[in-house]
C-alpha cells in the first residue's frame, strides 16, 4: 500500500483484533512522524546498533482484559509507513517487566526502522520496574492471574493481536513472524516455543531466565552466604579474585585476550582460596584477600548448595563481574555488590530478582526479613518455589517437538560472563531438549559467547544472529557459526566467531592472526596445548 493510504488507515476504526478469552477495551491509533532514537550496540541483543531517524509509523495501542481475571493488558504496535518488509516482530521485556520499558522500546524502534511491524506488551503489569504493585492481592495472597499473564498467557495474546493489526493495516498477514528478547525476554521466547509453538516462525532468545525458581534464588545466593557469615568482603577483594581467575584461565583457548573461553577447565584449575592472604591495592590503601571473599566468589561460581552438601543449582562463571564496579557491566544487578564507603562493608543492594521473588512470592509478605534466614530455610524456599510455581513460570519443558513440527526455528545465546543468569542452565536445557527431540540442531541452536555479560556489555555481542535466524527461517540456511567483533585493550578490532553448542571456537595459530575470523573454526573439542599464541593481544 502507498504511504498516503497507510497514513489514512492509521485510525482506530481500521483495527478490530479478537482473541478467544479476551475482551478488547480500547484501540488507539495515531500517526507518529519524525521519530528518532539512537540504539547503541547490544541493546537489541542479536541485531546491530542503529540510529532511527525521522521515522514514520502508526502507533497502535490495544487495551484488553480477560473477563474474570480483573486484568488490563496493553499491547503497543509500531507499524512502519514507508518501509514495511512484510514481516512481524515482537520484542521481549527485561527484569520484572514483560515489555513496554525503555529496553523494549530500543528493540521495538529498531525493528520498526528495519521494516518490521513490531509489538511489545506490558503483560498487564503496568510500568513498575518491580512486582511490588501487583504480586500480592493482599499480604499472603498471590495475584495468580497476573502471574499467569506475565509468565505465558499475554505472550500468545500479543502474537494473535499483532498479526491481526498487521493484516488490518497492510491488507495482508505477515509473511513471517519473529520474536526477539533476552533475559526475561529470553524466557518469554522459550515459553513461546514450549507452549505456543505456532505463534512465531523464528525466535531469538538470549540469556533466558528459564528454570525461573532456581535462577531467582540463585541470584540471592551469594548474599545469603554473606548474611550467614555476617561478613561482607570488600569489592576490591572480589574484583581481585575475578581478575586472578581471568589471568589464570585466559590462555586456555590458545589466545591471551582477557577472556575466559574454557570455563569448565578454569573451574578445575583455579581456586579462590589460593589467594587468601594475598595483598592487593585497593583505593588508596592495601588489603589482604580474606577467606570470606574466597567463600563468596566460590558460592557465586558453584551455585546453591544445601546444608547436606547437595548441589541444587548452577552458579555463574569465573570471570563474570561479581560487584558491578566494571565499566563493561551495563546491567547493574551484580550478585555480590558490597558497599564499603563507610569503612566497613555492607550489602550495597540486593539483587532485585531474588529479593522480590523470596519476599513477595515465597514468603508472600513484603515486609519479610531476609537478613537472618538459615541455610535449611533457604533450601526449603527453593523447594517451595519449584512446587508452587514450576508449571507456571519455570519455563523448562524440554519437549519442543510441536515447535519443531510447526517448522519453527530458535536461536539462543548466553554470555559466558553473565552476571545473573547462569549459562549452565541454558546448556542443561539444551541437553534436555536433545534427549527429548531428535536432531535438535535442525531447529534449535544455542551459542555460548565468551566474555559477554548479561545480554549485553563486554566482548562477543552476537549482533548478526537475528539476521541469521531470518535466513534459517526463510531460506533454510542454518547458522553454523556467528560473527562477533570487539576492541581489545589496545583498541584493536578483533573479529571472531561463536559456535553452536557443544562446539567451541578454535584458533588456528598457523593462520597467524587471532583478530581475523577466518583463523577461527568451530570444533568439538578445543586443543589448547598445540597452539598457544605467545604474544598478548
Ligand atoms: C524533527 O525532529 C528534530 C529533532 O529531533 C527537529 O530538529 C526537526 O525540526 C523536526 N522536523 C520536523 C519536520 O518536524
Ligand atoms: C504510542 O501510543 C501510546 C498510547 O497512546 C502512547 O502512550 C505512546 O507515548 C505513543 N508512542 C509514541 C512514540 O508516540
Ligand atoms: C596483610 O598480610 C601481611 C602478611 O600476612 C601483614 O603483614 C599485613 O599487615 C596485612 N595487611 C593488612 C592490611 O591487613
Ligand atoms: C568497623 O567495624 C569495627 C569492628 O566491628 C569497628 O570497631 C569500627 O568502629 C567500624 N568502623 C566503622 C567506620 O564503622
Ligand atoms: C538479624 O541479625 C542482625 C545482626 O546480624 C540483628 O541485628 C537483627 O536483629 C536480626 N534480625 C532478626 C529478625 O532476628
The DSSP code sequence of 275-328 is GTT-EEEETTEEEE--HHHHHHHHHHHH--B-TT--B-S----TTS-SSS-STT
Task: Give the pLDDT confidence of 163-206 residue by residue, as tens digits.
Answer: 999 999 999 999 999 999 999 999 999 999 999 999 999 999 99
Residue to substitute in 11, 26, 61, 112 for testing ligand 2 pocket (most ligand atoms within 8 angstroms of CB): 61
- Region 31-38: mean pLDDT is 98
CB of 271 closer than 6 A to ligand 2?
no
Per-residue pLDDT at 489 = 81
Same domain, 62 and 164: yes
Read off the pLDDT band of 527 (50, 70, 90).
Answer: low
Q: Is the pLDDT of residue 455 over 60?
A: yes
Residue nearest to atom 4 of ligand 2 (CA): 61
Task: Give the pLDDT confidence of 199-231 residue by residue, as tens digits.
Answer: 999 999 999 999 999 999 999 999 999 999 999
Q: How far apart are CA 61 and CA 120, in angstroms?
A: 10
Query: Which residues, 6 or more positions from 127, have their beta carbon under 8 angstroms from its beta carbon?
Result: 100, 101
Per-residue pLDDT at 390 = 98
Active-site annotation holds for 454: yes
Residue to substitute in 340, 344, 345 for testing ligand 4 pocket (most ligand atoms within 8 angstroms of CB): 344
Closest atom, ligand 2, to C-alpha of 32: 14
Distance 260 CA to ligand 2 centre (A): 43
Cell 502471574 found at = 147
Per-residue pLDDT at 349 = 78
Residue 331 domain flag: yes
Distance 288 CA to ligand 3 centre (A): 6
Counting ligands in written order, which one lies closest to the CA of residue 373? 5
Counting ligands in written order, which one lies closest to the CA of residue 51? 1
Same domain, 285 and 336: yes
Counting ligands in written order, which one lies closest to the CA of residue 285? 3
Three cell numbers written together for 369: 526479613
Q: Is the pLDDT of residue 529 over 50?
A: no
Give me the domain span that covers residue 13: 3-30+47-211+393-480
CB of 391 closer than 6 A to ligand 3?
no
Domain end residue (candidates: 375, 390, 405): 390
- Region 453-479: mean pLDDT is 97
Same domain, 193 and 254: no
pTM, full prediction = 0.95
Domain end residue (candidates: 448, 480, 512): 480
Higher pLDDT, 122 or 491: 122
Same domain, 195 and 231: no
User: Taking Cα atoms as reference points, which of 384, 383, 420, 372 lies closest to residue 224?
Assistant: 372
Per-residue pLDDT at 526 = 72
Q: Is the pLDDT of residue 326 over 80?
A: no
Per-residue pLDDT at 537 = 41
Active-site annotation holds for 418: yes
Same domain, 205 and 221: no
Residue to substitute in 288, 289, 293 for testing ligand 3 pocket (most ligand atoms within 8 angstroms of CB): 288
Same domain, 280 and 317: yes
Per-residue pLDDT at 325 = 85
Backbone phi and psi for residue 219, each to the nearest 5 degrees, phi listed first: -70, -15
Distance 83 CA to ligand 1 centre (A): 20
Residue nearest to atom 2 of ligand 5 (CA): 372
Distance 280 CA to ligand 3 centre (A): 10
- Region 298-317: mean pLDDT is 98
- Region 123-134: mean pLDDT is 93
Per-residue pLDDT at 347 = 85
Same domain, 378 and 358: yes
Q: What share of the chain has pLDDT > 90, as a percent?
A: 88
Q: What is the mean pLDDT of the chain?
A: 95
Same domain, 385 and 397: no
Same domain, 225 and 374: yes
User: Taking Cα atoms as reference points, which of 287, 282, 313 lies closest to residue 300?
Assistant: 313
Q: Is the pLDDT of residue 534 over 60?
A: no
Number of structural domains (the chain) is: 2
- Region 478-505: mean pLDDT is 94
User: Ligand 1: residues within 6 Å at CB?
Assistant: 34, 36
Distance 144 CA to ligand 1 centre (A): 45
Residue 302 domain flag: yes
C-alpha to C-alpha distances, 148 to 4, 129, 153, 214, 359, nearest whole angstrom: 41, 18, 6, 18, 19
Catalytic residue among 71, 250, 321, 418: 418
User: Taking Cα atoms as reference points, which of 466, 474, 446, 478 lies closest to residue 203?
Assistant: 466
Q: What is the DSSP letter of 207?
A: S
C-alpha to C-alpha distances, 58 to 34, 169, 456, nearest whole angstrom: 12, 9, 29
Residue 155 domain flag: yes
Beta strand 285-288 with 338-342: parallel, antiparallel or unpaired?
Answer: unpaired
Counting ligands in written order, which one lies closest to the CA of residue 38? 1
Catalytic residue among 118, 177, 183, 350: 183
CB of 344 closer than 6 A to ligand 4?
yes
Distance 125 CA to ligand 1 centre (A): 33
Task: Give the pLDDT confidence of 374-432 residue by residue, as tens digits.
Answer: 999 999 999 999 999 999 999 999 999 999 999 999 999 999 999 999 999 999 999 99
Residue nearest to atom 6 of ligand 1 (CA): 34
CB of 344 closer than 6 A to ligand 3?
no
Distance 41 CA to ligand 1 centre (A): 24
Same domain, 221 and 370: yes
CATH number at residue 471: 3.40.50.1820
- Region 303-325: mean pLDDT is 96
Closest atom, ligand 1, to C-alpha of 36: 5
Residue 498 domain flag: no
Catalytic residue among 454, 463, 481, 482: 454
Read off the pLDDT band of 533 (50, 70, 90).
Answer: very low
Task: Give the pLDDT confidence of 82-106 residue by residue, as tens digits.
Answer: 999 999 999 999 999 999 999 999 9
Query: How many DSSP H helices and E strands does the chain contain?
Result: 15, 19
Conformation bin of residue 73: beta by default, left when phi > 0, alpha when psi is -120 to 50: beta
Cell 588489603 found at = 287
Same domain, 151 and 232: no
Distance 38 CA to ligand 3 centre (A): 49
Per-residue pLDDT at 158 = 98
At CA 355, angle to CA 350 and CA 357, rounded to 5?
155
Q: Is the pLDDT of residue 530 over 70?
A: no
CB of 343 closer than 6 A to ligand 4?
yes
- Region 309-320: mean pLDDT is 98
Residue 198 domain flag: yes
- Region 110-122: mean pLDDT is 98
Same domain, 227 and 270: yes
Amino acid at each position: 500500500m502507498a504511504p498516503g493510504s497507510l497514513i489514512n488507515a492509521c485510525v482506530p476504526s481500521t483495527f478490530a483484533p479478537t482473541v478467544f478469552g479476551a475482551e478488547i477495551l480500547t484501540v488507539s491509533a495515531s500517526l507518529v512522524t519524525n521519530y528518532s532514537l539512537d540504539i547503541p550496540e547490544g541493546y537489541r541483543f542479536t541485531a546491530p546498533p542503529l540510529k532511527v531517524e525521522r521515522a514514520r509509523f502508526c502507533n497502535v495501542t490495544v487495551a484488553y482484559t480477560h473477563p474474570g481475571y480483573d486484568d488490563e493488558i496493553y499491547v503497543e504496535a509500531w507499524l512502519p509507513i514507508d518501509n514495511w518488509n512484510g514481516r512481524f516482530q515482537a520484542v521481549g521485556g527485561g527484569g520484572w517487566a514483560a515489555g513496554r520499558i525503555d529496553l523494549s522500546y530500543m528493540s521495538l524502534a529498531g525493528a520498526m526502522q528495519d521494516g518490521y511491524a513490531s509489538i511489545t506488551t506490558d503483560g498487564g503489569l503496568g510500568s513498575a520496574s518491580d512486582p511490588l504493585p501487583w504480586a500480592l492481592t493482599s499480604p499472603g495472597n498471590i495475584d495468580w492471574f497476573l502471574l499467569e499473564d506475565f509468565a505465558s498467557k499475554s505472550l500468545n495474546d500479543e502474537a494473535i493481536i499483532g498479526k491481526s493489526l498487521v493484516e488490518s493495516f497492510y491488507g495482508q498477514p505477515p509473511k513471517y513472524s519473529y520474536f526477539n528478547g533476552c533475559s526475561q525476554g529470553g524466557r518469554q521466547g522459550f515459553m513461546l516455543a514450549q507452549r505456543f509453538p505456532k505463534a512465531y516462525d523464528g525466535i531469538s532468545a538470549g540469556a533466558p531466565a528459564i528454570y525461573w525458581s532456581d535462577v531467582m534464588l540463585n541470584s540471592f545466593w551469594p548474599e545469603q552466604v554473606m548474611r550467614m557469615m555476617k561478613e561482607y568482603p570488600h569489592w576490591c577483594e572480589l574484583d581481585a579474585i575475578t581478575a586472578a581467575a581471568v589471568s589464570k584461565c585466559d590462555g586456555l583457548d590458545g589466545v591471551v585476550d582477557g577472556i575466559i573461553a574454557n570455563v569448565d577447565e578454569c573451574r578445575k584449575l583455579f581456586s579462590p582460596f589460593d589467594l587468601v592472604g594475598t595483598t592487593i591495592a585497593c583505593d588508596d590503601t592495601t588489603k589482604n584477600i580474606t577467606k570470606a571473599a574466597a567463600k563468596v566468589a566460590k558460592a557465586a561460581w558453584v551455585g546453591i548448595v544445601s546444608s547436606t552438601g547437595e548441589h541444587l543449582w548452577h552458579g555463574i562463571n569465573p570471570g563474570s563481574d561479581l560487584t558491578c564496579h566494571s565499566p563493561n557491566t551495563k546491567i547493574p544487578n551484580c550478585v555480590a555488590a558490597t558497599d564499603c564507603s563507610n569503612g566497613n562493608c555492607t550489602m550495597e543492594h540486593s539483587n532485585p530478582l531474588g529479593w522480590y521473588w523470596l519476599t513477595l512470592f515465597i514468603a508472600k509478605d513484603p515486609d519479610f526479613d531476609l537478613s537472618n534466614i538459615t541455610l535449611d530455610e533457604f533450601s526449603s524456599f527453593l523447594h517451595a518455589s519449584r512446587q508452587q510455581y514450576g508449571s507456571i513460570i519455570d519455563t523448562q519443558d524440554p519437549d519442543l517437538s510441536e515447535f519443531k513440527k510447526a517448522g519453527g526455528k530458535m536461536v539462543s545465546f548466553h554470555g559466558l560472563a553473565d552476571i545473573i543468569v547462569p549459562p549452565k542452565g541454558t546448556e542443561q536445557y539444551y541437553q534436555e531438549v536433545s534427549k527429548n527431540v531428535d536432531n535438535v540442531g535442525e531447529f534449535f541452536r544455542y551459542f555460548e559467547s565468551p566474555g559477554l555479560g548479561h545480554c549485553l556489555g563486554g566482548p562477543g555481542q552476537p549482533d548478526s544472529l537475528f539476521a541469521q535466524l531470518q535466513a534459517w527461517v526463510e531460506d533454510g540456511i542454518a547458522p553454523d557459526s556467528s560473527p562477533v567483533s570487539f576492541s581489545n585493550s589496545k583498541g584493536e578490532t578483533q573479529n571472531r566467531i561463536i559456535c553452536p553448542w557443544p562446539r567451541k571456537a578454535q584458533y588456528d595459530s598457523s593462520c597467524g592472526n587471532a583478530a581475523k575470523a577466518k583463523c577461527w573454526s568451530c570444533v568439538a573439542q578445543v586443543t589448547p596445548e598445540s597452539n598457544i599464541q605467545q604474544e598478548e593481544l
